[in-house]
A = this chain, B = another copy of it.
Amino acid sequence: MENIGILHPGEMGSSIAWNAQISGHTLFWVSDGRSPETRMRAEKLSLTETKSLEELVQNCSILISVCPPHAAEEVAGQVCTTSFQGLYADLNAISPQRAVCIGEMMQSHGIIFVDGGIIGGPAWKPGDTWLHLSGSEAQSVAGLFSGGPLQTEVIGDEIGKASALKMCFAAYTKGSTALLCAILAAAEGLDVRRELEQQWSSDGSNFAEQTRQRVTRVTAKAWRFSGEMEEIAATFSETGLPGGFHQAAAEIYSRMADFKNQPSPPDLAEVLSALLNRS
């Protein structure tokens, strides 16, 4: 049984912490600088509070990072300024080359690094969420979640492989949604949206209705998809493939960023106005 620190218990991170917790481990968090929502999530799960990162690392032999892509280096860098000498798992949606860089930084500070990528939503139920892991100590991380619904899979020894898989998977799910957002907005701007939806329905499918729902529902999460799309664009460019699909997707999601935290999905007309920069 291990003492594990979670950086940080957001919506996804708290579900990951819970999976380790019900597998018998003790979970710690750092309250300094976190939001009231994060405190609520941590208290609901009875995670053990520490006041500072230094206090956290003195209690924990394993740290797990679950944060927005842009913050991955910052969180890892802060850990490197402490006395931590244990195992650090980065589960963030970052490009494989960034995972490699963070791994090298960690290693140079005597920290063991494991690369991870999460596919699916928060892991409260079986069949919803996959955690892929790579690195020499990947199996140790996978073992932490044996008692929870989170499905873990070790896919190799190489740092970057788990991140690469995450990038490729999200490239289609979030990339095709962004493409549909752009298409509906273009059709609206060109005054052919009704005709496009009619054509989509000509095979008797409900693709038109599904698309309208997909576009309005993604608005709530769009603010944090933009950074992930930039990671995918970088991944593609590094691999010699065009990054333009996901640079465009990043732009689409950033135009919808203001819909963050709306209690219910906005009207389609409102979303299309935002996409067309008409709002």
Contacts and interface: CB of A to CB of B under 8 A. Distances in A.
A182 B275 contact: no
Given A171-B179, A249-B245, A202 B239 contact: no
A277 interface: yes
Q: Which of A169, A190, A199 has the most CB of B within 10 A?
A: A190
Interface residues of A, number: 51
Given A196-B165, A196-B169, A189 B244 contact: no
Interface in A107-144: 119, 130, 132
Interface in A198-255: 199-200, 202, 235-236, 239-245, 247-249, 251-252
A190 to B, nearest CB: 4
A115 to B, nearest CB: 12
Q: Chain A: interface secondary structure?
A: helix
A189 B276 contact: no
A269 interface: no
A181 to B, nearest CB: 9
Contact of A241 (B182, B195, B244): B182
Given A241-B252, A244-B244, 14 more contacts: A132-B195, A132-B199, A153-B195, A168-B190, A168-B192, A168-B196, A169-B199, A171-B182, A171-B186, A172-B180, A182-B241, A190-B239, A240-B276, A243-B248
Closest A-B pairs by Cβ, 7 of them: A244-B248, A244-B244, A242-B248, A164-B190, A189-B239, A165-B192, A168-B187
A98 interface: no
A277 B239 CA distance: 10
A240 to B, nearest CB: 6
A97 to B, nearest CB: 10
A231 to B, nearest CB: 12
A96 B178 CA distance: 22
B242 A182 contact: yes
A8 interface: no
A165 B180 CA distance: 14
A155 interface: yes
Given A186-B171, A196-B165, A252 B248 contact: no
Contact of A183 (B171, B186, B189, B247): B171
A277 B189 CA distance: 37
A180 B172 CA distance: 7
Nearest to A211: B172
A53 interface: no
A130 to B, nearest CB: 7
